[in-house]
Amino acid sequence: MDITLDDRPAAPTEAPPAWTAPTPLAARTEDAVKRYGGEGTEVLALDGVSVGLPAGRFTAIMGPSGSGKSTLMHCLAGLDSLTSGRVFVGDVELGGLSDRELTRLRRERIGFVFQSYNLIPTLDARENIVLPLTLAGRRPDAGWFDHVVGTVGLGDRLRHRPSELSGGQQQRVAVARALASQPAIVFADEPTGNLDSRTGGEILTFMRAAVDELGQTIVMVTHDAGAASHADTVLFLGDGRIVDSMARPSPDRILDRIKQFG
């Protein structure tokens, strides 16, 4: 199934323009296939997935365990390779890159947010946020850094180490770290999985603001209908294939769709 997730509502005009420029894609796959295991134990995790993820949008990926949602995200992010097919970040095909080039692309063009935070305990919040830039030998853009820190509400916590921060504050640091290098796309894997509902809601609000106020592109894997409802579009996977998508999602609509597809 070929699908491009550009589901923005039409502009409120009586006569829409005859031609509208297409939304650039931050990432895409073409006939993506991923197999694990050997003969007799083979698992088909992705079964010919072709999808485009628009820039400046928030996309959630949902599906039952084993549906391929995490595999799709990992292949899009260059953390895993396809068995066949192609994956692009912008106009760069990941399959054509050497290990060194792929590492550089992930460092410079991709941000990551995981549910386990992955902060360095000996570094304070500011040092953790700029760590990817430090490793790349780059200085943070002061204006952008201040904007990101303000968006995630960390201005008074920058000199605190992870052990001195709550779980929600640590995840804010992780979100800010993902945004600080101004990546083309941020991938978030169950980013609220270890948080209570209130704190998780705050993180999702911050991620929504990153899209709306900072123009960020975010792709999030989640099993939580409430979390997915913060996205512009929800992509549903089943048995390694895209089975549906939903624009302007709400928790109730998402739950109804999940019941429909199982």
Q: What's residue 123's pLDDT?
A: 96
* DSSP three-state, residue 57: coil
Token digits of residue 7: 């589901």
CATH number for the domain spanning 252: value is: 3.40.50.300
pTM to 2 decimals? 0.84
pLDDT band at 15 (very low <50, low <70, confident <90, very high): very low
Residues 148, 111 contacting (CB under 8 angstroms): no
Q: If you write DSSP's letter for every residue of 23-81 in order, what string do you get?
A: PPEEEEEEEEEEEES-TTT-EEEEEEEEEEEETT-EEEEE-STTSSHHHHHHHHTTSS-
- Tell me whether residue 1 is in a domain: no
- Distance between CA atoms of residues 260 and 255, nearest Å: 9
pLDDT at 144 (0 to 100)? 87
Q: Is residue 175 part of a domain?
A: yes
Q: How many domains does the chain have?
A: 1
Q: What's the token pair of residue 128?
A: 């953790």
Residue 13 covered by a domain: no
Q: Which two tokens stand for residue 14?
A: 């009586």
Please check whether residue 234 lies inside any domain of the structure: yes
Identify whether 206 is part of a domain. Answer: yes
Q: Give residue-wise pLDDT tens across range 147-204.
A: 888 877 888 999 999 999 988 889 889 988 988 888 889 999 988 887 888 888 888 8
Q: For residue 59, is it within any domain?
A: yes
* Structural domain contains residue 147: yes
Q: What is the domain extent for residue 126? A: 55-63+101-261
pLDDT attached to residue 21: 54
Taking the C-alpha atoms of 139, 144, 148 and 154 in order, what is their torsion angle to the nearest 10 degrees? Answer: 60
| 186 domain-assigned | yes
